[in-house]
Structure 1
Amino acid sequence: MIESARRPRRADHTARMTKTVLVTGATSGFGRATVERFVGAGWRAVACGRRAERLDALVAALGGSRVHPCAFDVRDEGAMRAAIAALPDGFRDVDVLVNNAGLALGTAPAQRADLAQWKQMIDTNVTALATLTHILLPRLIERRGVIVNVSSVAATYPYVGGNVYGGTKAFVSQLSLGLRSDLHGTGVRVTTIEPGLAETEFTLVRTSGDQAASDALYAGTSPITGEDVAETIWWVANLPPHLNVNRLEVMPVSQSFAGFQIHRAK
């Protein structure tokens, strides 16, 4: 008897019935690409972001029947709760939460950093992510769903100017492990995606729109793309329900680990 005949065939765990993904930061980069990937495969998507005009363009591009736009700033808890409460029937049952919204601001070392930028990163990358996750946990437990938190290699590897941004991403990675532990037995899966050098609007936001700085950073690097991360999230979300990827660190081949800094007295 051949090997395939002896083994029971595994069920196809891709979405045979229409499922719903909710993605924050859906107006650009990883978030937009993730919405496009899931909707292209037949899923419904709740696309969340600050820029309503970009959400409208995304809906127009993908078809309004499968994409529901939610325009709000994730730092505004009231607006977030109102948007989630107002989800229409076809989009209320969230099967996959992708916490993608986040940002880095500034490149200065801590002693010269802008405190307002630190607070904005904490409010966006930490507080908003934790709040939305808490709001959606009952639905995700009911659906035996998936939580994908987009962190960063900065959660593990420090660099000059990374300070609070790296700290917020370390929180995301550690919270994911805590959620995984707390949700034991519920069937909910939790994964952290930790990308390295990726060419999106990330550096433009970090440098207040300095296109030259963005171009210089990515020149000749073959960086990660939004589509690369979206494909990774798609793979994680469609694994068999008995498998959990706890943490997935992804870098372009052109990037590796930096050496230690050494200060020498003059």
Structure 2
Amino acid sequence: MPTAVVTGASSGIGAASARALASAGFHVFCVARRTDRVEALAAEIGGTAVTCDVTDPAQVAALADAVGPTLDLLLNNAGGALGSDTVANADPDGWRQMYEVNVIGTLLVTKALLPALVASGAGTLLNLGSIAGHLTYEGGAGYTAAKHGLTAMTETLRLELNGQPVRVTEIAPGMVRTDEFSLNRFHGDAAAADAVYAGVREPLVAEDIADAIAWVATRPAHVNVDLMVLKPVAQAAPHKVHREQL
């Protein structure tokens, strides 16, 4: 049975992707900081729970030990946004936290598990980016800077791994309504989180992204999907969203 690691698997896109990959025949290592959540998910899908903060090198090393010498697929999904301040009013600590999780966390996990991906003979490395890694918008500079960093790392990995049996893909969603992304961004302010989706008919949901991830994962090994951008029909760009009158 092929194996997969999904970071940030405790909720949202990570949890949905773990379920989709399990349905596609993978044994999934469900990885996140919240032990109770990943244990429940692993029990549900017949996977393995690993408690891990991706920004902690010791915990990432323990994750690599748990996975073992070979790995077929790595989904670097752990990430997130904090705040919506302008650059002039930016919180440097929030910027650092976003960079640590979205970029450094992805770096640490990739470094730790890359030998196992190569050893599989046909590894797949999937990084969960965002349209924020390709475009900018007012109030989003800290998040877009982090996601641009992730995009640059992904593209560099594809160059550096050329000739190795590992394909490299970035999945770049637009507006996805999940239980926690916007709530975390606005520090628990439910009204501010709900306003992000106000009037938007059918924003994407976690299962839409998970379906795309499973599709990429199950292409023939010689097929590399470099970049997949997914947005709801209502969203033309980060700053251009059709909202119906409520």
Structures share a fold, TM > 0.5?
yes
- Percent of aligned pairs with the same residue? 39
In the TM superposition, 1:61-210 aligns within 5 A as 61-62=44-45, 66-87=46-67, 93-143=70-120, 144-200=122-178, 201-210=180-189
In the TM superposition, 1:219-238 aligns within 5 A as 219-221=198-200, 222-238=202-218
Unaligned runs of 5+ in 1: 1-17, 261-266
Between Structure 1 and Structure 2, whose CA radius of gyration is higher? Answer: 1
What is the RMSD computed on CA atoms of the aligned residues?
1.5
Deviation at residue 112 of structure 1 after TM alignment: 1.1
- The 1:179–1:108 alpha-carbon spacing in structure 2 relative to 1, beyond 3 Å, is same
Between Structure 1 and Structure 2, how many residues are aligned? 237
The reply to whether residue 35 of structure 1 matches residue 18 of structure 2 is: yes
- The 1:258–1:205 alpha-carbon spacing in structure 2 relative to 1, beyond 3 Å, is closer
Mapped to 1, the partners of 2:146 and 2:66 lie a distance apart of 29
Counterpart of 1:84, as a letter, is A
Q: Which of the two has greater strand per residue? A: 2
Deviation at residue 259 of structure 1 after TM alignment: 7.0
TM-score by length of 1: 0.85
The reply to whether residue 249 of structure 1 matches residue 232 of structure 2 is: no
Unaligned runs of 5+ in 2: 241-246
Tell me the equivalent position of 1:10.
Answer: none
Mapped to 1, the partners of 2:151 and 2:168 lie a distance apart of 10
SS in 2 for 1:256: strand
Mapped to 2, the partners of 1:121 and 1:258 lie a distance apart of 19
Mapped to 2, the partners of 1:39 and 1:220 lie a distance apart of 34
Mapped to 2, the partners of 1:166 and 1:98 lie a distance apart of 20
Counterpart of 2:70, as a letter, is D
Counterpart of 1:53, as a letter, is D
TM-score by length of 2: 0.92
Residue from 19, 40, 44 that aligns with 1:57: 40
Runs of 4+ in structure 1 over 2 Å off: 59-62, 257-260
